[in-house]
Amino acid sequence: MDANFWIIQAFNGVSYGALLFLLASGLSLIFGVMRIVNLAHGSFFLLGGYVALTVIWTTGSWLLAIPVAALVVAVVGLLMERVFLRPLGFDPLRQVLLTVGFAYLFQQAALDIWGGDNLDIVPPAVLKDSTVVGGFYFPRYRMFMIGMAVAIGLMLWLVMEKTRMGAMIRATVDDAEMARGVGIDTSRVSMFIFALGAFLAALGGVIGGAFLGVYPGLDFAILPIAFAVVIIGGMGSLTGAAVGSLIVGLADNFGKALFPEVSYFTLYAPMVLILALKPTGLFGRE
């Protein structure tokens, strides 16, 4: 185990964390604003990948596939929130089961439309090579993933900190009842956040499709990892989602490389400990 191992594994971990950030930031915001444990979030990720494939097959444009897939899935999320989740009111258990129901429906729909094969999203040739820095080979696609996550993260941060909508979201995360009291339309905030969460997850699905693949079952494979990120970072916090993604991305990579037999255990056990000791996570507020 030389320096090469550590640097490459760290780079892989960070880039995987970047992908997780796209997936988990939305999940975290949804939880923070609506207190919903959204078990359909992995489905948004998977649907993003599938819709992107359809766009690529019909137009041949990978670049076009990214926004189209994200927007289509955002609309799906928006409808799901408006038509089904909103009328349910606040009841964690029923909300969870409802999102599971949708996860199963999406799974079946994806199987009917796109079939059961393992598919791959092929990025443009420019991104397929590696760049050599100081004697190390860094795959360009992973660099692109990191860049994308940083850009999205910055944009989210600007929206949250500098806009009126962002202020309304933060207020709702802190105290939804109080926010309603001062005249914030929390129902509209919820709608926006759920659609945004679906958008981000689908974006992750398109980008992750190139190295995770797109296949039935990916939805439930990736979902618990997203929850690990959200819980470690703290629900409802963007900074938390970023730090949590990095921790989980690195823990997953080094865990698999160093202790393959207990690698998932090393991922979920810290999640349990944090929940038991500080349920609000590293960056969540009381």
Partner 1 sequence: MKDGHAPRRKLLIVGAALLAVLVITPFSGSYVIVLVTHALIFAILAMSLDILLGYTGLPSLGQAAYLGMGGYLTAILATRYQFGLDWTFWVVVALGMLIGAATAAFFGLFAIRATGVYFLMITLALGMCVWGLAYRWNSVTGGDNGIVLPPRPDFGIQLADDLTFFYVVFGFFLASLVMMTILVGSPFGRSLVGIRENELRMRILGYNTWLHKYIAFIIAGAFGGLAGVLWAHAHGLVSPEDVILATSVDALLMVVLGGPGTLVGGALGAGIVVALREYLSTLVPWWQYVLGGVYVLTILYLPGGLMSIPERVRRWRAQSRGAGVEKSLESASH
The nearest distance, CB 73 to partner 1, in angstroms, is 17
The nearest distance, CB 186 to partner 1, in angstroms, is 17
Number of other residues whose CB lies within 10 A of the CB of residue 220: 16
Cα(63)–Cα(150) distance, integer angstroms: 18
The nearest distance, CB 154 to partner 1, in angstroms, is 28
Task: For partner 1, give the closer residue by CB, 62 or 104.
Answer: 104
Half-sphere exposure of 239 (CA within 13 A, CB side): 7
Structure tokens at 50: 């599938």
Q: For the chain, how many helices (H) and strands (E)?
A: 11, 2
Q: Which residues bind partner 1 (CB under 8 A)?
A: 31, 35, 37, 39, 84, 87-88, 92-94, 96-98, 100-105, 107-108, 111-112, 220, 223-224, 227-228, 231, 260-265, 267-269, 271-273, 275-276, 279
183: left (phi over 0), alpha (psi -120 to 50) or beta: left
User: Alpha helices of 125-264 — where are they, by DSSP H?
Assistant: 140-162, 164-174, 176-181, 186-208, 218-233, 238-258
Task: For partner 1, give the closer residue by CB, 35 or 140.
Answer: 35
Task: For partner 1, give the closer residue by CB, 56 or 225.
Answer: 225
Task: For partner 1, give the closer residue by CB, 35 or 285.
Answer: 35
Cα(250)–Cα(107) distance, integer angstroms: 29
Closest CA to 219 of 81, 106, 95: 106
Task: For partner 1, give the closer residue by CB, 85 or 203.
Answer: 85
The nearest distance, CB 84 to partner 1, in angstroms, is 7
Task: For partner 1, give the closer residue by CB, 68 or 229.
Answer: 229
The nearest distance, CB 133 to partner 1, in angstroms, is 33
Cα(105)–Cα(219) distance, integer angstroms: 12
The nearest distance, CB 275 to partner 1, in angstroms, is 4
The nearest distance, CB 194 to partner 1, in angstroms, is 16
Task: For partner 1, give the closer residue by CB, 38 or 146.
Answer: 38
The nearest distance, CB 97 to partner 1, in angstroms, is 5
Contacts of 24 by beta carbon, 8 Å cutoff, 6+ apart: 226, 229, 230, 233, 241, 244, 245
Task: For partner 1, give the closer residue by CB, 27 or 242.
Answer: 27
Cα-based angle 50, 55, 60 (whole degrees, multiple of 5) = 125
DSSP state of 138: E
DSSP state of 82: I
Cα-based angle 243, 248, 251 (whole degrees, multiple of 5) = 125
